[in-house]
Amino acid sequence: MSEKIDVQGPDPERPATVVRSTNVQFQSSFVSRDKRGKVLGSEFRGCTVWFTGLSGAGKTTVSFALESYLASRGIYCYTLDGDNVRHGLNKDLGFSAQDRTENIRRIGEVARLFADAGLVCLSSFISPFRQDRAQARRIHEQSGLPFIEVYMDTPLEECEQRDVKGLYKKARQGLIKGFTGIDSAYEAPLEADVVLKTAEKSVEECVAQVVEHLRKRGILPYSVVKTVRELFIPQDQLAAAIEESATLKRVHLTTLDLQWVQVLSEGWASPLSGFMREKDYLQCLHHNINTRQGSVNQSVPIVLPISGEDRERIAGENAVLLVHDEKPIAILRDPEVYAHRQEERMCRQWGTACRSHPYVKMMFKAGDWLLGGELEVLERVRWDDGLDSFRRTPNELLSEFSRRGADAVFAFQLRNPIHNGHALLMAETKTRLIARGYKKPVLLLHPLGGWTKADDVPLHVRIEQHKAILREGVLDVDTTVLAIFPSPMMYAGPTEVQWHAKARVACGAQFYIVGRDPAGMANTETGVDLYHADHGREVLKMAPGLPQLEIVPFKVAAYNVQEKRMTFFDPARKDDFEFISGTKMRRLARDGQEPPDGFMAPEAWKVLKAFYQSSHASKS
Amino acid sequence: MSEKIDVQGPDPERPATVVRSTNVQFQSSFVSRDKRGKVLGSEFRGCTVWFTGLSGAGKTTVSFALESYLASRGIYCYTLDGDNVRHGLNKDLGFSAQDRTENIRRIGEVARLFADAGLVCLSSFISPFRQDRAQARRIHEQSGLPFIEVYMDTPLEECEQRDVKGLYKKARQGLIKGFTGIDSAYEAPLEADVVLKTAEKSVEECVAQVVEHLRKRGILPYSVVKTVRELFIPQDQLAAAIEESATLKRVHLTTLDLQWVQVLSEGWASPLSGFMREKDYLQCLHHNINTRQGSVNQSVPIVLPISGEDRERIAGENAVLLVHDEKPIAILRDPEVYAHRQEERMCRQWGTACRSHPYVKMMFKAGDWLLGGELEVLERVRWDDGLDSFRRTPNELLSEFSRRGADAVFAFQLRNPIHNGHALLMAETKTRLIARGYKKPVLLLHPLGGWTKADDVPLHVRIEQHKAILREGVLDVDTTVLAIFPSPMMYAGPTEVQWHAKARVACGAQFYIVGRDPAGMANTETGVDLYHADHGREVLKMAPGLPQLEIVPFKVAAYNVQEKRMTFFDPARKDDFEFISGTKMRRLARDGQEPPDGFMAPEAWKVLKAFYQSSHASKS
């Protein structure tokens, strides 16, 4: 850990301000600026996005959508347009050639001030002349500020057809003179930074295109752009890595450890770039966040326990090789070994002193030391169990959602068979999103696929059951992506539900469904629930470092005996409802019985029944 | 807890953005804006601070200092001045009367845009004419944006004497024509919002004056302004409150509860306005923060345990009366009763399963339910133990620091006698601050005065010892304020050290000294330290919601037998050092012996010796 205090030298003109190196966050409430007000120690430095195009080309629509996109991700923006400039700063200007040039010159200067202040300035004016736009660009470049010219390449016919303000009509009638595109020239950019074909693309696609450009230019901070950094070694460096591997001391991974390597390597725990160091571990246990890059939710430790012997054996090494069943998995760089302190971890992570909790028990048996360090993973983790095709990485899922044209992704985490109560939550969420104006909300149906306790339904059975649900049309195939979330289950209640939500941000989910008692279980000693049934939802709603995600909380669903289907429980008519517990469901299935009508899709029930009647199912 | 999801209606022009009602933070990375880019759901909405005055009057100096003050508190600012406006936006303007007016007009318009974008725009121009400034004000007021005119009331002679840029000299020589104050008029404001007499006041005082104005006008958010909201009932409402009290059901406070009432009522736990509700409690246990007003560190629960009988007795009440020894203490409004869940609290707050920990033990004995609600406190809590004069509220301390002309306040928390190792940390901190340009750093010597475990040195003995330290000149009386921090001690290590730091922000500390193992103790069952000695410091350095405070971490000090004084421990020369433990110190004192030379001021040692030789000291 850094002992350094970041202290700026005294400056007679202003009192010292200080940025703590350990706590610098993007859009932090503790930022230092240089004399021109630019934010220092922040990832983002300000720029101007200059929209140009005909009246009706979509400048305002796209700039507002972009502003909304950026603002919701913590980027300060400000849009300059006719409304706030023509009637104010430039109200002394008319529409002569000279005044038009002066209009654009001033806007360029003001945009530069906003960019200099550390905002994204969105400028939304026809700005028809190349020379004027070139001047605006020059003004920025002289100040070292990025200037992005975005050409709204919308055909005149399209603009004229839209004619939102009725101006084209007036211009054609000769009521407006010197109207750009009609009787005044528009000089299309020859080398615009971004060209938006608004006639062919949706507003969201246009926004995505600008964001992608900002991302490629390195203008937007990591937290804003939706690709996830994977920890795999690039193909061209693989041979050298394998050669190096042979020279390294080895540390053996359990299968559980390997699941965590998979989680880390695919980017689910971004920005973690390896097993947690002690600073990450403390931050996670105490504050449920990680501040390596901005302030990002990270509620569960992702750590590699090792024994005291391993600790001594690797002391002084610059890198070690992680192996599983003698197979090389990853190089861990710059190892840091620190105390596991299991009792403290049990208490802070699970909020319980129950040592027979299944994950806690494993944790105590694992090593007394933790090995932190950056990971370079040799190849993608595969399990060869026939389910690897469902184990899609965040980047693969991002592509899939894009391919499907999703304008909203909502995620549903589960580790149990799907009944119609779950389906109700998912359908209801979709309805709400459509009512809010989304055109294609896509569901990420995302069962957890790592370690679970012995009496949970095994992954392969759950996947069969989920596939049956899709086959039977309970969920819409076209707008549902079924994939496996490779994380182990920790049964840590409100602490873990944050992890389940956060990991889904990595793969593009903006909405996360949370019901009752997520990630909870009963105390294995007392049989009493470890967590209050509402706390997972409430803690998640307040979770720090999850700004990109909207939590969609639900009341519990139960079997409505009157309506013979699952509906939201209404305490006022509680006699109409029957709660079908997991235990009851298991008993019915084992006995080869049928659940009440409308509880679960029949084909899906068959899958469960077959499992519980087989010898593999636990007898609990 | 609110079940509401805050969903904005669909707007065809832009995708819906959403503010989660439970997680809106000032300068949050998740803000929604209206179409003009103004930040919604934030406490702060933007304004313009317009400095006017002669050349050399101090506009730039004060505006930069103000910018630095605000920026370090998370307020986005931008300064407009000659440097960034005259050579850019207004480079087409000369110095004719007309151009000067147009110059100021445009600056007014640009300032309005910045204020509209949600920033504090600091405008720093001579702006000599009333009419021009009035226009700038009008431009703002028409947009509903606050405009604060700050008159730099510096005599011409003073400005001319400063003559930083040598302009007055040139003007007197006739080399510059139309120079304001020499051969061009300056029209002093008749009704400026703030008048700064820079010839008589320091830059810091000027900044404080502007900030105070912004605070009074309600422009700056709570988090920025340094007065603390107390929970006492105003004098004129007291009679009515007492009358109401007689009608309320009573809940009895223990002495420990009363200490927490004191903490809450004086504002140490701002912005908590009463005993925690369940939402506050969960947030505290899981994330160590409170988001009632911005995101503020709050690592320890401040809760009121009650019994199941009390819970039933007060069910349905709109308010209850809290009494201590039958004395009415406070009205608690809108009571919310929720489960205490002691085991979970023990684990999450203390990170231990050790139930014989002294505070944990009390906690389990206290009620199974917690009573949350807003407090209206009838009168200040007094203990009549001869030490009340040391129990100064945050607001009293703020005044005291101001009276002493402190430009930096650094706090030292302790619950033990002061030895020269502590004094070394404090002296070293002062030296560092002076090296950084602070002129009068003041030390808040702030022993904890609430409940402590039986074998800690009692408060009255510690205060006597601290007074002896001051008498002997180990600490400088003029720059040290000795006061009592009324909080109980929880012995919760890294979790509690955040509380100790956060509470000192309330009384104006910008720097907090943290050494080894703060707030830690040994496990009462195993004798092993509950917390890693470095974790308190490390967790504090990363603590969320403490942006105003700089943590000053120190290595351990030990007795240097070569130099015969306390110095920072150097592991390379460890034979030169002796660690004098609390146990050893107690034994020496009890046996009437002297510690090594230079360990503690002799008069202070006498106080300790007298205590340990008396019958009151615990025999441990």
Higher pLDDT, B99 or A219: B99
The structure tokens 């195009």 sit at A53
Please state, for a pLDDT cut of 70, what percent of chain A lies above it.
90
To test the contact with chain A by mutation, choose from B542, B551, B555 the residue with the greatest count of A C-beta atoms within 10 A, namely B542
Chain A residue whose CA is closest to B108: A89
**CB–CB of B29 and A73 under 8 A?**
yes
Question: What ipTM does the predicted assembly reach?
Answer: 0.71
The region of weakest confidence among A282-286, A314-318, B432-436 is: B432-436
The region of weakest confidence among A66-70, A367-371, B128-132, B312-316 is: A66-70
Residues of B in contact with A553 (CB under 8 A): 3, 5
Question: Average pLDDT for residues A247-253, to the nearest whole number?
Answer: 98
CA distance B314 to B331: 13
Residue in B32, B344, B437 nearest the CB of A10: B437
Chain B residue whose CA is closest to A75: B29
**CB–CB of B5 and A550 under 8 A?**
yes
A430 pLDDT more than 70: yes
CA atoms within 13 A on the CB side of A382: 8
pLDDT for B68 equals 80
A416 pLDDT more than 80: yes
Residues of B in contact with A550 (CB under 8 A): 5, 18, 20
**CB–CB of B109 and A89 under 8 A?**
yes
Question: Average pLDDT for residues B371-396, to the nearest whole number?
Answer: 96
Residues of B in contact with A438 (CB under 8 A): 15-16
Higher pLDDT, B36 or A139: A139
**CB–CB of B542 and A494 under 8 A?**
no
Distance from CA of B604 to the nearest CA of A (A): 33
Please, what is the average pLDDT of chain A?
88
Question: Average pLDDT for residues B418-441, to the nearest whole number?
Answer: 92
B12 pLDDT more than 60: no
| Distance of alpha carbon B502 from the chain centroid | 7
Question: Average pLDDT for residues A308-315, to the nearest whole number?
Answer: 98
Q: What are phi and psi of A501, to 5 degrees?
A: -75, -45
Per-residue pLDDT band for B591 (boundaries 50, 70, 90) equals: very high
Residue in B3, B17, B139 nearest the CB of A72: B17
In total, the C-beta contacts within 8 angstroms joining chain A to chain B are 313
Q: Which residues of A223-256 are buried (b: 16+ CB within 10 A; e: fewer)?
A: bbbbbbebbbbeeeeeeebeeebeebeebebeee
pLDDT for B227 equals 63
Question: Average pLDDT for residues B488-504, to the nearest whole number?
Answer: 97
Residue in A351, A534, A542 nearest the CB of B283: A542
A16 pLDDT more than 60: no
Residues of B in contact with A368 (CB under 8 A): none
Chain B residue whose CA is closest to A4: B553
pLDDT for B554 equals 82
Per-residue pLDDT band for B226 (boundaries 50, 70, 90) equals: low
Please, what is the average pLDDT of chain B?
88
Higher pLDDT, A403 or A487: A487
Higher pLDDT, A450 or B579: A450
Question: Average pLDDT for residues A409-434, to the nearest whole number?
Answer: 94
Residues of B in contact with A519 (CB under 8 A): none
A224 pLDDT more than 80: no
In B436-527, alpha helices (H): 459-471, 493-506
Per-residue pLDDT band for A37 (boundaries 50, 70, 90) equals: very low
What is the SS3 assignment for B310?
A: helix
Residue in A37, A76, A531 nearest the CB of B67: A37
Residue in A114, A119, A552 nearest the CB of B5: A552
User: What DSSP character marks residue A7?
Assistant: -
CB count in 10 Å sphere of residue B121: 29
Question: Average pLDDT for residues A558-579, to the nearest whole number?
Answer: 91
B452 pLDDT more than 80: yes
Note whether A345 and A369 are within 8 A (CB): no
pLDDT for A219 equals 79
**CB–CB of B72 and A223 under 8 A?**
no
Burial-class residue B500 by CB neighbours within 10 Å (0-12, 13-18, 19+). buried
Residue in A203, A287, A344 nearest the CB of B351: A344
Per-residue pLDDT band for B121 (boundaries 50, 70, 90) equals: very high
Per-residue pLDDT band for A43 (boundaries 50, 70, 90) equals: very low
pLDDT for A616 equals 62
pLDDT for A15 equals 27
Distance from CA of A401 to the nearest CA of B (A): 17
Question: Average pLDDT for residues A256-274, to the nearest whole number?
Answer: 96
Distance from CA of A535 to the nearest CA of B (A): 8
B29 pLDDT more than 50: no
**CB–CB of A539 and B67 under 8 A?**
no
Higher pLDDT, B506 or A444: A444
Residue in B1, B72, B541 nearest the CB of A538: B1
B102-111: pLDDT as tens digits: 999 999 999 9
A71 pLDDT more than 90: no
pLDDT for B245 equals 97
**CB–CB of B74 and A31 under 8 A?**
yes
Note whether A566 and A557 are within 8 A (CB): yes
A471 pLDDT more than 50: yes
pLDDT for B231 equals 95
Residues of B in contact with A106 (CB under 8 A): 89, 106
pLDDT for A42 equals 39
A352 pLDDT more than 80: yes
pTM greater than the 0.95 cutoff: no
Distance from CA of B22 to the nearest CA of A (A): 6
To test the contact with chain A by mutation, choose from B3, B5, B23, B29 the residue with the greatest count of A C-beta atoms within 10 A, namely B29
Residues of A in contact with B278 (CB under 8 A): 538
Residues of A in contact with B67 (CB under 8 A): 14, 33, 37
CA distance B423 to B428: 8
Question: Average pLDDT for residues B423-437, to the nearest whole number?
Answer: 92
Note whether B82 and B165 are within 8 A (CB): no
pLDDT for B576 equals 93
To test the contact with chain A by mutation, choose from B14, B295, B336 the residue with the greatest count of A C-beta atoms within 10 A, namely B14
Residues of B in contact with A204 (CB under 8 A): 15
Distance from CA of B269 to the nearest CA of A (A): 18
**CB–CB of A13 and B37 under 8 A?**
no
B285-326: pLDDT as tens digits: 999 999 988 789 999 999 999 999 999 999 999 999 999 999
Residue in A69, A351, A543 nearest the CB of B347: A351
In B366-510, alpha helices (H): 394-403, 420-435, 459-471, 493-506
User: What DSSP character marks residue A555?
Assistant: P
B146 pLDDT more than 90: yes
B539-585: pLDDT as tens digits: 999 999 998 789 998 878 899 999 999 999 998 999 999 988 888 88
Most distant CA pair in chain A: distance in Å? 89
Give every CB contact of residue B397 below 8 A, 6+ residues apart in sequence. Answer: B444, B481, B483, B507, B508
pLDDT for A17 equals 26
A307 pLDDT more than 50: yes
pLDDT for B618 equals 55
Give every CB contact of residue A189 below 8 A, 6+ residues apart in sequence. Answer: A52, A130, A133, A149, A151, A195
Higher pLDDT, B28 or B279: B279
Residue in B37, B106, B352 nearest the CB of A89: B106
**CB–CB of A79 and B110 under 8 A?**
no
Q: Which uninterrupted H or E stretch holds B32?
A: strand B32-33
Residue in A7, A83, A287 nearest the CB of B436: A7
Distance from CA of A237 to the nearest CA of B (A): 36
Per-residue pLDDT band for B44 (boundaries 50, 70, 90) equals: low
pLDDT for A82 equals 87
A476 pLDDT more than 70: yes
Residues of B in contact with A33 (CB under 8 A): 67-68, 71, 77
pLDDT for A452 equals 97
Residues of B in contact with A37 (CB under 8 A): 67, 71, 77-79
Question: Average pLDDT for residues A262-268, to the nearest whole number?
Answer: 97
CA distance B613 to B590: 5
Residue in B64, B119, B288 nearest the CB of A117: B119
To test the contact with chain A by mutation, choose from B223, B340, B344, B368 the residue with the greatest count of A C-beta atoms within 10 A, namely B344
A112-129: pLDDT as tens digits: 999 998 899 999 999 999
Distance from CA of A575 to the nearest CA of B (A): 24
Distance from CA of A209 to the nearest CA of B (A): 16
Three-state secondary structure string covering B141-188: HHCCCCEEEEEECCCHHHHHHHCCCCHHHHHHCCCCCCCECCCECCCC
Question: Average pLDDT for residues B423-449, to the nearest whole number?
Answer: 93
pLDDT for A22 equals 22
CA distance B475 to B423: 7
Residues of B in contact with A339 (CB under 8 A): 532
Residues of A in contact with B135 (CB under 8 A): none
A460 pLDDT more than 80: yes
